[in-house]
Structure formats: C-alpha cells, structure tokens
Amino acid sequence: MAGAGGGGCPAGGNDFQWCFSQVKGAIDEDVAEADIISTVEFNYSGDLLATGDKGGRVVIFQREQENKSRPHSRGEYNVYSTFQSHEPEFDYLKSLEIEEKINKIRWLPQQNAAHFLLSTNDKTIKLWKISERDKRAEGYNLKDEDGRLRDPFRITALRVPILKPMDLMVEASPRRIFANAHTYHINSISVNSDHETYLSADDLRINLWHLEITDRSFNIVDIKPANMEELTEVITAAEFHPHQCNVFVYSSSKGTIRLCDMRSSALCDRHSKFFEEPEDPSSRSFFSEIISSISDVKFSHSGRYMMSRDYLSVKVWDLNMESRPLETHQVHEYLRSKLCSLYENDCIFDKFECCWNGSDSAIMTGSYNNFFRMFDRDTRRDVTLEASRESSKPRASLKPRKVCTGGKRKKDEISVDSLDFNKKILHTAWHPADSVIAVAATNNLYIFQDKIN
C-alpha cells in the first residue's frame, strides 16, 4: 500500500519510512526576518514547488527529470525562478505600513507552456506568469543587433527575422494586480474550480474576483457589525470546494465553519451548513476561546471531507454531518498544561496550517521544536517527525520522536520543558500524487520522501 496515491501508510509502520531528501536555505544561527518562509505550495502536477517569505520574495523550485542511470531515483527540486513579488508600502490615509510578507500562494491549473500563480500580502493580490524563453529573434529590419534604430533611408533590402537558440531564461512577469479591495488583512486566497474566478478573504469580508478583471470584485461575505464594539469573531481562513464551483467554506475565530452556496444569494451572509463541535463544559478555561480558533481549513481532494486545524488538534469533517467531526487528532495535547506560558510569549496565537496527501488517506500539520505530525486515517496510527539538519544525510531515515509529559523520561524521549517554541513548523505541503512532502522550518525548506526506492 505504501507509496500509492501520495503516500500509503505515512504515519509510521514497518512498510513505510520517510527519509531526508533535501534542505534549502542558509545554516546561519542569526536568521534575517526577511528570509523566514511564510507559505509553501506545490502546483497541480507537483513538478513545481513555490515558497513565499517575509521579504516579499517568491522562490520556485522545479523537480528534475528522473535520472536515466538511476531509473528508480526520484528527481530533486532545484531553484527554477526567484522574483520579488511584493514591496513594502505605506498607506498614507491610515498612516500604516503594509508589509511585503507573502501570506499565501495559489497556483492556477496549467493551460499552456507557461505557469501562473497568485500571490498576496496583506492588501494586494498579484497574478504572475512564469515562462521560459530559449530562442531570440535576430535580423530585424528597423534596428541593429544591439537594439539601435537604423536609418530608414539606408534600408535597401527586406530581411526576414530568424529565431536563434539561446540559454534558457525563466521570466516572471506580473500580469494582473488586484488592489484596493480589502480594508483588513488578507488571510486566504482560493482559486475556483471554474478556473475563471477566485476568492480572497480578510478578517471580516470575502471578495470574489474574476482573473481577468482587476478593478472590480464582488463582496460575497461581510460579517462586519454596524458597531465595531459588537465584534465577536473574525474570519480566519476560506477555501473553494475542489469540484463544485458554487460552494465555499470559511472558518472563524470562534471555532466554527460555515459552508455557503453562491447560488442561494449574491451575498452569502446566510450559510447553508454550519459545522461546530459542542464544547465540553467541564474542560472550559480562560484559554478555551483562543485555542478553539481555527487557523486553517482545507477540503479533501475528493471534496467529500474537510479538515480544520485549531491550536491543539486537527479535525476531519464529513460535509454531510455538521454536528461533530468524523475524526479528531490531537497534535500536541501535552501543551494543554503549558497554555499560560504560551499565552505570555504569544505562541498561543500561532497559526498552524494543515494538508492532505494525494489520496486523502493521511494528513499532516506542524508543531513546535521543528516537529511535524502525520496521521494515517485508515490505520489510525500517527507519528511525530523532526525537520533537522542533524538527520540531513541523503536518504537518512527519519526517526519518530516522542515527547515525555512527566515522570521518568526514556532515552529517546524529549521533555516538554525542553521544547524550543521559537522553532515552529507552521507551513507544510504534500505532493499531489507522490510521497513527497515539503516542510518550512523558519528559513529552511526541508523536502522528505518515502524510502521505497
């Protein structure tokens, strides 16, 4: 079963092993703020992997073709294109600095030889075209080879320009800029299955855009109260259904998810479905509301399920059952006793993302100490792995890690008190077809794969 459809038994077990493949990024202890990775995304084929950072840059890695001398070896990812997507700006009306940090990247399905992606910071979304050029035209009539215009009176013969080969050049050019539509910070963008529209969500509103139209968007959700003092919740994430172009979901800071159908009305303030797990009164505490806030929501590839990540757990919901989640997986339950100190150092507000494997049989999400968690939905097994340079020898197996919560610590266990909360894995991505994962750890991008080959 291992390796089929994006990772058969990824959460451990004798038949499956994750191993180190690559690490990208500097080793320096002093990490520049601009180099911290803020989003990771595979394209639809998995041949390209894009990362965005706090410095507004987008780096795209391309998977090399499989080596003929080693036909079973998986191709490595190497830098394909790097470009500055966003620059720092200043809003003079509100006296606010607008960070250049890339909040999200979303690929568009490939239609021709070029690739297109959407990238966004807090305020502005851009559509980028990434294209290759390996030929140049020579023999123009009106200009010389160095580009200077020729005197028209000296042109005595008509030349037909010819294409000559040149070194491969990858160009990134902004094709559309979607600006001035969000009062609050954009937290999500999601491309619709119709491949013509996409949504963008901020704290209080969700807008629907057409990819060809930059000066107009439609507001489809608005939860802003007339009096801002009555504000009780904000939108934390939003995503379109992978197959039904009229359906989208958005999650809130109150731990609820609303599914909306755009066919019912132009403004989707009234949801079609409302997903919420009833709270256990016995476990209520000062931190209950903070830790129940949903930081990410993702539809499964099949469109039948969706997954939500809150501070301590990840939940899988069946779209046909609103009353409670189908599965609840504890990510780092041992931190429940540490919530007070996590509140003091602001870690309790960290926004962890989650992702599905290609066959929807497994899910992955991050934790602290550069740990990340995998849950196998079929076998109900789970594993904690670590993104670390210490195990970064080629094809070195990742050893499962265990956290000791109290009592006597075993040899391979790590104590809760010695976890490094500055090392956190917020952003992960899973290859859409193969057992390949990308994990962002501060300024380093780790790529792991299965050890079958």
pLDDT in tens, 307-319: 999 999 999 999 9
| 77, 447 Cβ separation under 8 angstroms | yes
H or E, element range at 125: strand 125-138
Is the pLDDT at 162 greater than 70? The verdict is yes
User: Could you give the CA distance from residue 222 to residue 202 in angstroms, rounded to a whole number?
Assistant: 10
**Which residue type, as a one-letter code, is found at position 198?**
Y
20 and 444 Cβ atoms separated by less than 8 Å: no
Answer whether 449's CB lies under 8 Å from 436's CB. yes
Do residues 250 and 190 lie in contact, with contact meaning Cβ atoms separated by under 8 Å? no
Query: Quick check: helix, strand or coil at residue 410?
Result: coil
Residue 15 token pair: 């038949």
- How much is the average pLDDT of 6-30? 70
Spell out the alpha helix ranges (H) of 160-203: none
> pTM for this one?
0.89
Phi, psi of 288 (to 5 degrees): -50, -45
Looking at the predicted structure, is the pLDDT value of residue 85 above 50?
yes
Tokens of 301: 């590839």
| Residue appearing with tokens 């010389």 | 144
Give the span between the Cα atoms of 120 and 75, in whole angstroms: 29
Q: Residue 278: what pLDDT?
A: 86
3-state SS, residue 177: strand
Q: Is 18-450 assigned to CATH 2.30.30.240?
A: no
pLDDT in tens, 123-140: 999 999 999 888 888 888
Residues across the chain = 453
Q: Nearest CA to 373 among 46, 48, 14, 18? A: 18
Q: Where are the domains of the chain?
A: 18-450
- Whether pLDDT at 437 is above 70: yes
Banded pLDDT at 13 (limits 50, 70, 90): very low
Question: What separation in angstroms does the CA of 154 have from each of 7, 139, 140?
Answer: 67, 15, 14
Query: What are the C-alpha distances in Å from 441 to residues 40, 52, 84, 287, 368?
Result: 11, 13, 21, 26, 10
Residues near 31 by beta carbon (within 8 Å), at least 6 away in sequence: 442, 443
Poorest-pLDDT segment among 6-10, 23-27, 297-301 = 6-10
Q: Which phi and psi angles does 336 have, rounded to 5°?
A: -60, -35
* 276-to-160, 255, 322, 326 alpha-carbon distances in Å: 68, 7, 7, 12
